[in-house]
Structure 1
Amino acid sequence: MDRDSVDWHGYIPAVTTPFTADGDLDLPAWAAQLDWLADQRMHGIVVAGTTGEWFSLTEQERAELFHAAARQVGDRMTVLGGCNAYTAAEAIRHARAAQAAGLHGILLTPPPYVVPSREEILAFYRDVSKAVDIPLCVYNWPRGTGVDLDTELLTRLADLPTVVAVKNSTPDFGGFVKGLVALRHRVRYFGIPTNETGIELLTRIGGDGLMGAGAVLGADHPDFFRAVAGGDLDRARHLGARDRVLMENWFGADYGASFASAQAILKYALTLRGVPAGHVRRPLLPLTADQQARVRATLTDLGLR
């Protein structure tokens, strides 16, 4: 497999997992949220990623989400299964569940918390790649894993038979661009910012899109990439500026939330937009009144309330 084995492109957000106020998985809300994402013309979604609170899902719940997403929208967009885990054996079970559900691929970080060495990272991905024949996107997220996959290591990972994409959420922008130049012809490369720099990268060097989070702006997110692809750069700049408002108001340079948890922020924002995103599950906590006001103010500034 390589980048030409899949058609992943554009805006593919990691989406929230709806829970009830009591912390139960809310599958009817999940179906409604998936329909909204499809109606907003997402190019794809990531199920049970960090935004989807994978860390508090049981193995059965994750599999349920995979199957429900495939049934609801799998014929309308790319659906990737988040398979983050502390061991390769766990990740393999999740990957097999994604494959059994009929998902188009999987997204996988190095084991979080462990801070593995380079050779341990290679062995982890090699074990998963050998065990499950499903397209794999390597997810570099230093904030969540404690390791930053540099270009040399990403290049070695791209040699694995099922690796077809990289989501590179490094705060090292120079490293991001170096990886893009080195890998753009071999794997799909995600993490392109929705600003003038992103437009320059897409039009002059390459790149495939952005695996963002939440999709709070709805169609504005994927339409940025459609506008660039269609040559309507003024429209792309307008849509990208709206996205940057969210990034600047709610997130930091390392892609972490600047207040509360990203999941609570995104769920509250989606709920304000009429999307049944549900509640966060503990250990995460809902937003305070002041934090809710901050989210409402941002949506008001964007004309969404």
Structure 2
Amino acid sequence: MFSGSIVALVTPFNEDGAVDFNALNALVEFHIEQGTDAIVAVGTTGESATLNPKEHIEVVEAVVKAVDGRVKVIGGAGANATQEAIDLTLACEAVGVDGTLSVTPYYNKPTQAGLVAHYTAIAEVAAKPIILYNVPGRTCCDLLPETAAELSKLPGIIGIKEATGDLSRVAKLKELCRDDFLLLSGDDATAMEFILLGGHGVISVTNNVVPGVFKAMCAAAAEGDRTAAAEHNDKMTGLYSALFTEANPIPVKWALAEMGKMPLADLRLPLTTLSEAHHDTVREALAQAGV
């Protein structure tokens, strides 16, 4: 259901800090035109941490309406309180998402048993598919392959976004999890190898700015064509580093504004716009990618 080139979509803002829904709709059209396979609304890149609950669901609903069934929409629904994650999951489902992305609880550092209990509680009430999201660099919580395998036994949990960048986990997850369990990369720099090793796709930051190239790379890798995949991937290697010179989504929002894809590069505090020292780095990476 969810595979290939998936974008972790940014959330544009107006000068007054409100969500810019016109720019959001335009970004959705850009991705559909470029062949993006699915869209994640209000994940980390969509600034889930600083949208209030009402805004969170409004943005997810706006993406669902703009997409109008043309591609799959995945709603960001993770939280570090299980009941809050349940509430977000049900609210995303109510506005029409095809599935939800549920990050491991952050800051409070649950045990592996706690993770099983957390996701089991969500799966018991969710009607739509759930994708686990493991990003220990942000959460200080690592969902181990053995734990993912236990959770994969639950019919509502259909896959994992694995953002450690540790390619050895692909084989481990394939060995331990059920055969139809989706393996999605969450690390752009290693995404090509992840797919060539048997992964099913990637939820990407870089896809925001070069969706056509990213789609071509994913498609070639899925076909096992390393040569073609590498040709596309090589165009984006500069972006893989430039878009993380400061915390995501600072650089990618600046890049999109520089490209004219949205009016402003503004973010919600405590994030601030990209430091001038990194402007040329991002510009050069965009040029390398043919933008």
What amino acid does structure 2 have at the position aligned with 1:113?
Answer: Y
What amino acid does structure 1 have at the position aligned with 2:260?
Answer: G
Q: What is aligned with 2:16?
A: 22
Q: Which runs of 5+ in 1 are unaligned?
A: 1-6, 251-256
Query: Which of 48-57 and 236-245 deviates more?
Result: 236-245
Describe how 1:105-144 pairs up with structure 2 within 5 A: 105-144=99-138
What amino acid does structure 2 have at the position aligned with 1:289?
Answer: E
Which one of 85, 92, 107 corresponds to residue 91 of structure 1? Answer: 85
Query: Which of 223-232 and 207-216 deviates more?
Result: 223-232
Matched, 1:296 2:288: no
The normalised TM-score by structure 1 is 0.88
Matched, 1:248 2:248: no
| Pair 277,44 (structure 1): closer, same or farther in 2 beyond 3 Å | farther
1:88–1:127 Cα contact (<8 Å) kept? yes
Note the alpha carbon deviations across 1:79-112, whole angstroms, 9 max, x for none.
1000121211111111112111111000001111
1:158–1:186 Cα contact (<8 Å) kept? no
**Rounded Cα–Cα distance in structure 1 between residues aligned with 2:7 and 2:174:** 20
Q: What is aligned with 1:235?
A: 228
Which one of 243, 260, 267 corresponds to residue 253 of structure 2? Answer: 267
Q: What is aligned with 2:43?
A: 49
What amino acid does structure 1 have at the position aligned with 2:99?
Answer: G
Query: Which of 62-71 and 277-286 deviates more?
Result: 277-286
Which one of 62, 79, 84 corresponds to residue 68 of structure 1? Answer: 62
Q: CA deviation at 1:244?
A: 2.6
Matched, 1:149 2:135: no
Q: CA deviation at 1:13?
A: 1.7
1:34–1:72 Cα contact (<8 Å) kept? yes
Matched, 1:286 2:273: yes
2:200–2:222 Cα contact (<8 Å) kept? no
Tell me the secondary structure at the aligned position of residue 11 of structure 2. coil
The normalised TM-score by structure 2 is 0.92
Percent of residue pairs identical: 29
Matched, 1:77 2:47: no
